[in-house]
Structure 1
């Protein structure tokens, strides 16, 4: 199957089933025999179209009498793909973009091929001007169209941060996310792992913020890499690694991770404890528990116990039992848009109930902490109502906990003395996260 047709199939799956792009890509790419270059192009087209959906539709609507909303789904997606290649992808010639798109239209909706051909040729003719968004007088609608976001998100950020910060954030969210590895320090040092990766032709570098982290440029097909299979590293973003660093569990401790899938933080904590003590790793979905267990086994960890349990229900048998508890709660994900661009199109109503769930999970998690123990709350979002507001609300109702200064990392120098980190893609160049460190004092 050619890369463009594969991209079409994945984009259809995303559009029709509201699937996340990374999940749809894994599903459709699974047993396909394709070289890295073709895989790369398919991936580029999928993410490019998803990231720029509103912008591409705006251009289609400028040129077509039939508006996007009324179009056949195949025609709409193929037009998006064609326009993306012409306007935003330098590596493809305009000629190839038109020809390949039109031949796919002929296969899936023959009678529209002339229509698609005409629109794409029109885009090429007006290439210098057609990409302009002509709604400059309405900042929110302009940014929403230009960067493809639900308008409520843009409005929310301008109100909470500022117009300049928001534009900066939108630009940062457009950048390609870097891939980071976490060295499995139980089996190898970071320097030794870098040497092995370089021998395989991988471009890699140390990340100063976290001493086990490596940034890699061109590591393809990671699941089939022998070093990965041997458990010498795992894939994890820097912000996510910082959670483990902030918690900083001592050896032989008893640790509970209440929402642990896909297992990056759980296995990091277990590794930081040098495979001693015990990490209880909980989640509610069977397929996610299997994923955690397979990572635990691959990394050679013997101090992790994977359990099925719902964090929103109080577990009486865990009360006052743990030295460290992590509540990495479900959230809106507005800090990881680089990795999951579909998050840009979430409705405000979809996120409304999250703070209540977060409060419930944090409250339950706090009950499991021993006196003198540590409680860490984290999210991959940048929204105060899911972050610092939850912590302030919790502290107002739980005087037996206090925020403690974070000295294990140097990330957010404005706030870490006060016991929390606000991490932003446009400031720190890593995933947007919030991490708070609390201690039970009585």
Structure 2
């Protein structure tokens, strides 16, 4: 298999099965046993097509005689893939992109479809200089118009384009070193020996930017628990909680486990972390992650965050509540999120409030409730926290220090943005139970 075939398989899975692009890529890269270079190309192709889908379709409507409405879905997939290479990837010879698309048309559709694909893409080559993005930001950056309006209401017209642009950039791969398993010197040496370049993150402790890593799971250092993947914004949320050895910590919406792992490491192997999730298969993921990282003080438990567990009442020094949210802060990593129906997202604040109301009962007097989301929407962030505080006078906001690179202030609530801070869009709120 080659990278373009793998990319097409992933795009077909996204369309037919509603699969997320990152999950489909992982599955098909493994199936096709791509090497590091081809895996990187397949990833670039799939993310590029998803990130630019509305723009590619805008151009195809002008290139396909009679428009794209009557095309077989797989033919449209192939055309998007070919057009993305022609218009956005200078290092790929246009002839290679066209020829591969034609062969895909023969294999997945018909010879007649292959002829259409050949004609459309060769027409695109002739008109390439005229294929420029329109002024309409929705099409230019491939964000549905209702989402553009929602984001503009959040950040204002002055920052809107920078935010949309950031969503179409591949984020760096950021990992957290496990200080319980490997020293910094050995971490760098082992990655270098594997051909991976590791650069310290500018402000996040034990966080590293990796280049040339290929499949993380194939690295010996990963397999023996030397690191795990986590965005600096999520790591900052755990740091904000101010955990100390010996504490009892509860992570109520724990999967995939990054914050639970960070908490266990902050405890230095002492104290305990109870990592809960509502999905059984995610409990398995948590247990496997903790075992790989060598975290015996972490226990995973099946638990609904909205259902009261009386045995946990007033027991926890810190409760981490990274609640279900719209996910609009991680569009860089999950580009398909932009195409989700926005209407159901309006019900999320009610669920978030129910979780906070419930899990706040687990915090002991003097303990910390750390509320976080991976969205930038005020209605899911500050509005939820402020409504909770209005109903819970036993809790008070507690400012925590931000890194100098983020302003160095002490704030109880902070929202990070990809276009401002280079992280995921993320909200952190620290609350202290005072009575």
**TM-score, normalised via structure 1 length:** 0.95
What is residue 237 of structure 1 aligned with on the other side?
231
Superposed, 1:238-277 pairs within 5 Å as 238-277=232-271
1:331 aligns with 2:331: no
Pairwise CA distance, 1:410: 4.0
SS in 1 for 2:202: coil
Q: Distance in 2 between matches of 1:281 and 1:375?
A: 15
Unaligned 5+ segments in structure 2 are none
Do the aligned residues in 2 keep the contact of 1:259 with 1:328 (CA within 8 Å)? yes
Question: Match for residue 46 of structure 2?
Answer: 46
Tell me whether 62-71 or 113-122 shows the greater mean CA deviation: 62-71
Contact between 1:242 and 1:409, CA under 8 Å: does it hold in 2?
no
C-alpha distance in structure 2 between counterparts of 1:402 and 1:132, whole Å:
48
CA distance in 1, matches of 2:4, 2:195: 28
Conserved? CA contact 2:255–2:277, under 8 Å: yes
Q: Give the deviation of 1:418 after TM superposition.
A: 3.4
Does the aligned pair in 1 maintain the 2:402–2:410 contact within 8 Å? no
1:432 aligns with 2:425: yes
Alignment-derived partner of residue 194 in structure 1: 188
Matched, 1:296 2:290: yes
Q: Could you tell which deviates more after superposition, 403-412 or 346-355?
A: 403-412
- The 5 Å alignment of 1:390-429 reads 390-407=384-401, 409-410=403-404, 412-413=406-407, 417-429=410-422
Distance 1:207 1:62 in 2: 44
1:390-427 deviation per Cα after TM superposition (whole angstroms, max 9, x unaligned): 0111111111111101126446439x533011100000
- Inter-CA distance 100–64: structure 2 relative to 1 (3 Å threshold): same
Once the two structures are TM-superposed, the CA of residue 5 in structure 1 deviates from its matched residue by: 1.6
CA RMSD of aligned residues (A): 1.4
1:171 aligns with 2:165: yes
User: What's the CA shift for 1:114?
Assistant: 1.6
What is the match of residue 184 of structure 1? Answer: 178
* Distance in 1, Cα, partners of 2:210 & 2:17: 32
C-alpha offsets along residues 197-230 of structure 1, whole Å, 9 cap, x if unaligned? 2233221111131221111111111101111111
What does the per-residue CA deviation read over 1:56-93, in whole Å, with 9 as the maximum and x for residues that have no partner? 11111112234334320111000000100000111211
Measure how far apart 1:317 and its partner are: 1.8
**Structure-2 residue corresponding to 1:139:** none
Q: Distance in 1 between matches of 2:212 and 2:24?
A: 22
**Alignment match, 1:5:** 5
Aligned residues: 434
Cα distance in structure 2, aligned partners of 1:282 and 1:10: 31
Aligned to 1:30: 30
Q: What does the per-residue CA deviation read over 1:92-122, in whole Å, with 9 as the maximum and x for residues that have no partner?
A: 1111111110111011222212211111111
The alpha carbon displacement at 1:309 in A equals 0.4
Residue 287 of structure 1: aligned partner: 281
Matched, 1:116 2:117: yes
Identify the match of residue 226 of structure 1 among 204, 220, 227.
220
Gaps of at least 5 residues in structure 1 are 137-141
Distance in 2, matches of 1:164 and 1:68, equals 34
- Give the corresponding residue for 2:128: 127
Closer/same/farther in 2, CA of residues 162 and 394 from structure 1, 3 Å limit: same
- Give 1:339 deviation, angstroms: 0.3
Match of 1:148 in 2: 142
The equivalent of 1:94 in structure 2 is 94
C-alpha displacement of 1:440: 0.4
* Alpha-carbon separation, structure 1, partners of 2:195 and 2:226: 17
> Matched residues in 2 for 1:410 and 1:379: separation?
22
Q: Is the 8 A contact 2:39 2:214 kept in 1?
A: no
Shift of 1:37: 2.0
CA contact (8 A) 1:254 1:323 kept: yes
Pairs within 5 Å for 1:320-399: 320-399=314-393
